[in-house]
């Protein structure tokens, strides 16, 4: 397992050349031993993420934000992981650069058969990149579903509010009856009793303060943690 960090301006050692940064991962795991194999693997990794192999002798400050994140991706790939945690890998990048990194991750996922846990607040990117979505609120799972189902038929009040708040190109097309959330997120150190979403939920009822909603499969591969209408959908 490997991780791609959020901020490529903080996750690369400024005193190390790219060759050392990538080589360190290989050395630590005893991979690509011997000078020739090590150099070849570093060149291969840079090529894999769309950077020229001759960049290996540069320092991080000589790269743009998008290029730095590509180096972070190459470092994660160095040890041939089967699973990558990508922790908000786009949030520190300019919007114009984000699409390049998204396409790179998408391409690598398909080419290398990676499983990736992609953490993001960007609903459009999640829809584009992910096969399955887990919606969290205050660290608790609210809903799990295949991406297409979740975006077309969100069942949890929080997911519905999230999707309704997502910007649309033409605001005139927005439905007037979209559920809007009010108030602030409670402190994770002192979460509400029962359902953690209840202080902002437009559908909250008295029982929501008493009972922690269990995560229930309400349709095939579709899970929801909500006390209302939480009966399994009959299969037709």
Q: Is 226 in the site for ligand SF4 (CB under 6 A)?
A: yes
> What are the DSSP E strand ranges found in 56-163?
83-87, 115-119, 132-137, 140-146
* One residue of 5, 63, 118, 197 binding ligand SF4 per CB under 6 A: 197
Determine how many CB atoms are found less than 10 A away from the CB of residue 34: 8
- Per rule CB under 6 A, count of chain residues that contact ligand SF4: 12
Give the dihedral sign, CA 44/49/51/57: negative
DSSP state letters, 5-35: -S-TTTSS-TTS-HHHHHHHHHHHTT-S-SH
**Do residues 7 and 92 make contact, with C-beta atoms less than 8 angstroms apart?**
yes
Q: Is 204 in the site for ligand SF4 (CB under 6 A)?
A: yes
- Give the nearest distance from C-beta 119 to ligand SF4 in angstroms: 22
* Overall residue count recorded for the chain in this entry: 236
Q: Is 66 in the site for ligand SF4 (CB under 6 A)?
A: no
- The stretch near ligand SF4 (CB under 6 A) out of 59-67, 117-125, 167-175, 201-209 is 201-209
Q: Is 38 in the site for ligand SF4 (CB under 6 A)?
A: no
Q: Is 42 in the site for ligand SF4 (CB under 6 A)?
A: no
What torsion, rounded to 10 degrees, do the Cα atoms 57, 58, 60, 65 define? -120
Binding mask 140-169 for ligand SF4 (x = CB under 6 A): -----------------x------------
Decide: helix, strand or coil at residue 63: coil
- The stretch near ligand SF4 (CB under 6 A) out of 115-123, 164-172, 183-191, 203-211 is 203-211
Q: Is 208 in the site for ligand SF4 (CB under 6 A)?
A: yes
Choose between 90 and 135: whose C-beta lies nearer to ligand SF4: 135
H or E stretch covering 105: helix 95-112
Determine how many CB atoms are found less than 10 A away from the CB of residue 236: 3
Choose between 38 and 228: whose C-beta lies nearer to ligand SF4: 228
Choose between 109 and 200: whose C-beta lies nearer to ligand SF4: 200
**Do residues 79 and 26 make contact, with C-beta atoms less than 8 angstroms apart?**
yes
Contacting residues toward ligand SF4, per CB under 6 A:
157, 195, 197-198, 201, 203-204, 208, 213, 226-228
């Amino acid at each position: 397992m490997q991780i791609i960090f959020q901020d490529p301006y903080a996750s690369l050692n400024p005193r190390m050349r790219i060759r050392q940064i990538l080589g360190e991962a290989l050395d630590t795991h005893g991979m690509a031993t011997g000078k020739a194999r090590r150099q070849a693997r570093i060149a291969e990794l840079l090529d894999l993420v769309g950077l020229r192999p001759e960049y290996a002798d540069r320092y991080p400050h000589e790269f743009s934000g998008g290029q730095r994140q590509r180096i972070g991706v190459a470092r994660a790939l160095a040890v041939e992981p089967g699973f990558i945690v990508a922790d908000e890998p786009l949030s520190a990048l300019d919007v114009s650069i984000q699409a390049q990194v998204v396409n790179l991750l998408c391409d690598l996922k398909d080419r290398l058969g990676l499983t990736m846990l992609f953490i993001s607040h960007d609903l459009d990117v999640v829809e584009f990149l992910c096969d399955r979505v887990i919606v969290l609120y205050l660290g608790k799972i609210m809903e799990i579903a295949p991406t297409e189902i979740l975006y077309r038929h969100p069942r949890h009040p929080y997911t519905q509010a999230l999707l309704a708040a997502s910007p649309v190109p033409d605001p005139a097309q927005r439905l007037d009856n979209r559920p809007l959330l009010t108030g602030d997120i409670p402190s994770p150190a002192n979460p509400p009793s029962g359902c953690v979403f209840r202080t902002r939920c437009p559908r909250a009822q008295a029982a929501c303060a008493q009972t922690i909603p269990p995560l229930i499969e309400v349709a095939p591969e579709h899970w929801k943690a909500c006390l209302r209408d939480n009966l399994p959908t009959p299969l037709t």
